[in-house]
Amino acid sequence: MKKKQGILSYFFIILGAVMASSSVALILLPNDAIDYGTAGVAIIISKLTGIQLSLCVLLVFMPFIIAGYAFLGKKFTIKAAVGSVVYTAGLDFFEHIPFEISTEHFLAVAFGGAILGAGLSLILRNGGCIDGSEILANIVVKKISDKTGRNYSMTPVLLGFNAVVYLTVFVVIDVTAALLSLLVYVVATAVIDHYTDHFESIKQVTIITQDPDGIISDIKNLLNKTCTIMDSRGAIAGENNTLICYISYFELPIMKEIISTHSGSFSTVSTIDEILR
């Protein structure tokens, strides 16, 4: 069963990457809009230098893949690498297809951004990533959290990174491209938030278990996180413990693996908008 789920996760990552690359190459770029994040950086470089877009995407994203391997682990990096390679190959493929949807700019932003967001949602929901800004934000938040012992949202880092991208578009390309690209970001992130429940926010994992020590040990060793422990009682199961842990969206796959190795455990995941101290 786990092997089947693993194969399906890679299938959806590949499908999502194809959707994202087709949206960028066939809809957004012909209508003067660009992708956001590191893909946006690569598009800017390609427009200014004339270098092939797929090559620019690969060169820009590669340092983030390496950083992801160093800080976020092998499994995450493999999925991120698969997604980015397929996205890059998709851009190269769709760039050479003599077909593009050139329409009224607002329609292009709406449909192109929605398809892009849907593709990215598939990738994120299956533990992958094709944008270096998300890897950067995850690394920054992880380093700060490890140092301070507090949990932080990735939102400020992502907003700051993309603000720089759009300001650059505004300065070196033109105002129309910057505004259209900003609308792409708004539409795409709205779709992503709908299907991933605000992936950039802090996640609260509540675990009900009769093996708290084993789960706590795994969480400490694999995620470098701690838990709040509460005594609880089930109507059928009897005495147990309720564990509460705060993690990032990209740490959820590891948490799922931890919980799956401890039979009889039950868990829920919820999004936390803010933690007051």
The tens place of each residue's pLDDT in the chain, 277 residues long, gives 667 777 888 999 999 999 999 999 988 888 888 888 889 999 999 988 988 988 999 899 999 888 888 877 777 888 888 989 999 999 999 988 876 666 677 888 888 899 999 999 999 888 888 888 888 888 888 888 878 777 778 888 888 998 999 999 999 888 888 888 888 998 998 898 888 877 778 889 999 988 888 899 999 888 888 888 888 877 766 778 899 999 888 888 888 888 888 877 888 998 887 776 6
Helix axes 155-172, 37-49, angle to 10 degrees: 20
CB 90 within 8 A of CB 25: yes
Give the residue from 188, 194, 191, 205 showing the smallest Cα distance to 248: 205
Say if residue 213 is in the same domain as residue 87.
no
What gap in Å lies between CA 82 and CA 129, rounded to an integer?
9
Residue 57, in any domain of the structure: yes
CB 41 within 8 A of CB 131: no
Give the residue from 31, 48, 20, 19 showing the smallest Cα distance to 183: 31
154 — phi, psi (to 5°)? Answer: -80, -10
Which residue do the tokens 């675990």 mark? 207
Domain-terminating residue out of 149, 173, 196: 196
Say if residue 70 is in the same domain as residue 151.
yes
Say if residue 181 is in the same domain as residue 226.
no
What gap in Å lies between CA 106 and CA 186, rounded to an integer?
13
Which residue do the tokens 């976020």 mark? 72
Q: 230 lies in which domain range?
A: 202-272
Total domains, the chain? 2
What gap in Å lies between CA 4 and CA 180, rounded to an integer?
40
Query: What is the H or E stretch that residue 209 is in?
Result: strand 202-209
Say if residue 123 is in the same domain as residue 228.
no
The CATH number of residue 227's host domain is: 3.30.70.120
Residue 277, in any domain of the structure: no
